[in-house]
Amino acid sequence: MTVHDHHTDDITDEVRQWLSREFASSLTESAVSDIVCAAHAELEGQIKPDAMGEMLHRLARFRVLRTLEGQ
């Protein structure tokens, strides 16, 4: 595992934890984790690494909200 991979894992985990707490009453942690991982996969290589945390949080939160609207 490279330093970049470890940093990326930390960011992904931080966003997952943040959104899991925020939406705990509406979605399971597993559902939030799936959304965060999918968003991360789409952003990887598309944006500057320094922007990953903010962009991942924004995209994943948007998708969580969209998922809740569809329920």
pLDDT interval class at 6 (50, 70, 90): low
pTM over 0.85: yes
Residues 6 or more apart whose CB falls under 8 angstroms from that of 59 comprise: 39, 42, 43
Cβ–Cβ < 8 Å for 54, 11: no
**pLDDT band of 71, cuts 50, 70, 90:** confident
The rounded distance, in Å, linking the Cα atoms of 67 and 56 is 16
pLDDT above 60: residue 68:
yes
Residue 2 pLDDT > 60, yes or no?
no
Percent of the chain topping pLDDT 70: 90
Number of structural domains found in the chain: 1
Q: How far is the C-alpha of 66 from the C-alpha of 27, rounded, in Å? A: 12
Which structural domain range is residue 41 located in?
3-69
Per 3-state DSSP, what percentage of the chain is helix, strand, and coil (rounded to 5)?
Answer: 80, 0, 20
User: How does residue 5 score in pLDDT terms, banded at 50, 70 and 90?
Assistant: low
